[in-house]
Structure 1
Amino acid sequence: MDQEEEIKYFVRVRDTDLDGTKQVQIALTGINGVGRHAARIIAQQANVDSHAILGLMPDEEVERIREAVENYTATVPTWMLNRPVDIYTGKPRHLMASEVPLTLEEDINIMRKIRSYRGIRHETGQKVRGQRTKSTGRTGTTVGVKRKKN
């Protein structure tokens, strides 16, 4: 850097403040639903250097990143999406930012409503994915191992 450049410490993309001091591919993982692989693909689609510092980029490159994030679902194959079949529309989607926790809560409520095994386990606060519960996952006033009195 020959000249003194002003760094933007926060860059807003998809309702998320990203760290401007990090590389593009690392900063994009700050968006919920975007991992390292998806971040690298977004940088490629936006035609930006994935190793460049996000806060030092010009505004037009940041705008290209925003557009690439918005168009991610349409440009990648369905096996790369985190929701290949949406239960309401039947179309592929990729959930990002605030959509992720809202959709998770919605899915859990649907499981509770139809009284599926997983939904009942969620309701009672027990483990859902088949883990053992004899010794772990205890809540409340559960007593541990009892010793024999002398």
Structure 2
Amino acid sequence: MLRLVGVDLPEQKRIEISLTYIHGIGLKLSREILVKAGVSPDLRAKDLAAKDVASLQKILDTYKVEGDLRKEIRENVQRLKRIGSYRGMRHTMGLPSRGQRTRTNARTKRGKRKTIGAMKKEDAAKVAA
């Protein structure tokens, strides 16, 4: 199995898709990296030559990916919380921080809740019993 920057990449998929398994690399960046490395995006990961893997590794070392990227994001959020900014407070309260409405929706951020509201009489009787 091909391993780059600490991530096992699927060998059966094309290399441009395989690179997206690395946190911080999407399809667009994957294609840019392959152009810089001079590797065909149509090659399967298992078909890469050792020199191709080495050139990909060298280029990937210039990007902030995986653990370093996760650490930077976590530190940025901690800084926002520490300075008491509006965005930091929203992160602390577990609410959306980019202006979305929360009267309805925001379920992903706020978590699963039980439905509260009007019930039919027969349903209310079943719950009470």
- Give the structure-2-normalised TM-score: 0.79
- CA distances 1:3-50 after superposition (whole Å, capped 9, x unpaired): xxxxxxx21111111111111111111111111111111111111111
Report the identity percentage.
Answer: 27
TM-score, structure 1 as length reference:
0.69
Query: Which of 43, 49, 67 is matched with 2:40 structurally?
Result: 49
Which 4+ stretches in 1 moved above 3 angstroms? 137-143, 146-149
Match of 1:58 in 2: 49
AA at the equivalent of 2:64: L
Give the paired residue count: 118
Q: Highest CA radius of gyration, 1 or 2?
A: 2
- Note the residue ranges of structure 1 that are not aligned, 5 or more in a row: 1-9, 72-93
Contiguous gaps of at least 5 residues in structure 2: 122-129
Q: Which of 1, 11, 18 in structure 1 is aligned with 2:2?
A: 11
CA distance in 1, matches of 2:95, 2:115: 17
Q: Aligned Cα RMSD in Å? A: 2.2
Whose helix proportion is higher, 1 or 2? Answer: 2
Aligned counterparts, 1:1-150, within 5 A: 10-71=1-62, 94-136=63-105, 137=107, 139=111, 144-146=116-118
Alignment-mate amino acid for residue 91 of structure 2: H
Distance 1:25 1:139, change over 3 A: closer
Q: 1:124/1:60 Cα in 2 relative to 1: closer, same or farther (>3 Å)?
A: same
SS in 2 for 1:98: helix
Which amino acid is the alignment partner of residue 50 of structure 1? Answer: P
